[in-house]
Structure 1
Amino acid sequence: MKALLQRVTTARVEVSGSTVGQIDKGLLILLGITPSDTPQLAAKLAERVANYRLFSDAEDKMNLSLLDCQGAALVVSQFTLAADTNSGRRPSFSSAAAPDLAEPLYLAFVAALQRLGVPVATGVFGADMQVSLTNDGPVTFLLDTEKK
């Protein structure tokens, strides 16, 4: 499972011209899921995301987490994060989880963030979405549950 975190001052996702999810200060989280991912990994990644220190404190150091700054999360499914890009000129998506496996894990990640006290907005799983954001910093990190 991969989570691309983007620190934002605002973010929104639209489907067919209608806003389906929107946040102000917080994280836009693009979530990529592989066939080997589990609900336990989703919960562990959610805990890491909620407590990952990437917001600035009074001394302008990245010492505050999403929970510390009372930010929100906009979680968007992003199967292309699971693509194999190691060779050729076209990505392979064989390493991405099938929708029937990925959607419950996406929902488990969202629910885990909510249980931790993070306000969560979402996109629509599997939909063609347009995502808009104002990246704050810019600050972007990729968290990956795969063992290296």
Structure 2
Amino acid sequence: MKFRRNRQRENVDINLASLIDVVFVLLLFFVVTTTFTREHQLRVELPESVSATPAAAEAGRQVEITISAEGVYSVNNSLLPKSDLDTLIDAVQRASAGDNSLPLLISADGKTPHQAVVTAMDAAGKLGFSQLRMTTVEAVQGTP
């Protein structure tokens, strides 16, 4: 049996208008439902020190309190909602998981109010931390 082939082929057209509409609706949905998070970091310019000794490199954990020039605190790069003693104590307690034998590092901006640094030291003292370090940068010799 011999089948006859039709030499004329029909042109098949795909209507893309509805597909484009669906793509735009999906795009709009993703744009509207996307949440953008902003990472907050404090910019700290450390004070200079000529007589500082570098800290020994440790592989263990440590708790770091960073204080901005305006007196805003962050504990282990987590910004605190309020800059008071109770909030700072709670944050340090969570970061250390109750282990007050960890080294506590205070990094304060050179223009930080003295009271903010004293508050951080007070929080460390109330929690029983004994290894307290202050972060500075090495001063260039010959500058006043």
Establish whether TM, by shorter chain, passes 0.5. no
Where relative contact order (Cα < 8 A, 6+ residues apart) is larger, the structure is 1
Q: Which has the higher strand share?
A: 1
Larger radius of gyration: 2
TM-score (ref. length: structure 1) = 0.40
User: When you count helix as a share of all residues, which structure comes out higher?
Assistant: 2
